[in-house]
Homo-oligomer: A and B are copies of this chain.
Amino acid sequence: MPSRPTPVIVREVGLRDGLQSIAKVLPTERKIEWIADAHAAGQREIEVGSFVPARLLPQLADTAELVAFAKTLPGLSVSVLVPNLTGALRAIDAQADLMLVPLSASHAHSLANLRKTPDEVVAEVARIRAARDAAGSKTLIESGIGTAFGCTLQGEVAPAEVLRCMQALLDAGADRVSIADTVGYAGPSAVRDLFEQARAIAGDRFWCGHFHDTRGLALANVCAALETGVARFDASLAGIGGCPHAPGASGNATSEDLAFLLAGMGCSTGIDVARLLVLRTKVAGWLAGETLHGALWRAGLPKTFNPSTTAATAA
C-alpha cells in the first residue's frame, strides 16, 4: 500500500460550479463573506467564479470583483474558470493565480456545453498560452478534462480519448491538467485506472480530481485517487453544483465531508472542519430553498475528532 499524500488540498469550487447551477444570484458582499470565512477556516485554494458573458451566467457576473478581493487574502490561490480566450484575457487582466479551461472528452457533451470539439478547445488553450506569455502574466493555465468517465449524452467515453486530450493539452501549453467526472459515472476502480495512466503522462502537472456525487461515490472516488498520488480535489460547500448540459448531474463532492474524510486519514488539509461547518450553516441560510447535500452537518463532528491532525498546515 503506497503511503498517502499529505498535505491534500480541498479546492473550493462552490462559488463557481455550485452557484452557476443555482438560479438565485448571491449578492457580491455575501460571496466576499464566504471567501473570507473559507480562508479563515483554512482553505487556501478557491475558484471564485467564471469569466463568461454576464448574460449567460448572471450569478457569476461579479467575478472580477471577487478575484480582486480574494487576492488580498494572504496565501490564497485564486482561480477562475474561463471558457475561451476572451475569458482568459479577463483572468490575466484580473491577475488570477490560475485559470481553468474546461474541455469535455465526450464530443457530444463538448458540442452541447462548449460549442467546440475537444480539439478546438486544445487549439484555444494554445492561443491562451500564447496570450498569457505575451502578456508576461503569471496566471497558470489548467485544463480540466470533463466527462472523463462517461457522459449522459454520448454514453461511453474511451479512457484512451481522455489521455489523448490530456497529452494534447500539455503539448498546447497547459501548465496543469485535471480530470473531472462531470456526471457522476465514475467508480473507484475506473478512477484508479485512469488516474494512474494520467499520472504516467502528466506527472506532477496532473493537478486535480473533480468528482460529482451524483450517485454517491464522490468520496470513495477521492480515496481511490489518493492512492495514485493525486493530492488536490475540487469540492463545494454543502455539495452544491451540477452541469446544465448533463441531465441528472448534481452536487460536487461536499467540501466539509471531504475535509472530514481526509482528517481521518491523517491527511493535512489545513482546514478547521468545525469552522467550515459554521460557514456551511451560514451559506445554507443564504441559499434557503435550494437543494443542499452532505452528511457531516447533520450529525456533527465525532466526539473523538482530533482537529490537530487537519489544521497542521493552516496559517
Contact = CB atoms under 8 A, between A and B. Distances in A.
Contacts of A292: none
A250 B188 contact: no
Interface stretch (A13-21, A90-98, A163-171, A218-226): A218-226
A150 interface: yes
A254 interface: yes
B304 A216 contact: no
A299 interface: yes
A55 interface: no
Given A150-B303, A155-B303, A220-B220, A296 B185 contact: no
Interface of A: 1, 4, 150-152, 155-156, 183-190, 192, 213-217, 219-220, 222-224, 227, 248-250, 254, 257, 260-261, 263-266, 294-296, 298-300, 302-304
A261 B295 contact: no
Can you tell how many copies of this chain the complex includes? 2
Contacts of A224: 223
A257 B215 contact: yes
Nearest to A258: B216
Nearest to A227: B1
Contacts of A220: 219-220, 222-223, 261
A254 B294 CA distance: 15
Nearest to A263: B187
A213 B216 CA distance: 11
A216 B217 CA distance: 10
Nearest to A152: B303
A295 B248 CA distance: 11
6 contacts: A214-B295, A216-B219, A217-B295, A223-B224, A248-B298, A248-B299
A143 to B, nearest CB: 24
Contacts of A248: 298-300
A265 B265 CA distance: 22
Contacts of A152: 302-303
Given A183-B302, A216-B219, 11 more contacts: A150-B302, A155-B303, A156-B304, A187-B260, A187-B265, A213-B295, A215-B257, A216-B257, A217-B261, A217-B295, A248-B300
A149 to B, nearest CB: 8
Contact of A264 (B190, B213, B265): B190
A236 B206 CA distance: 38
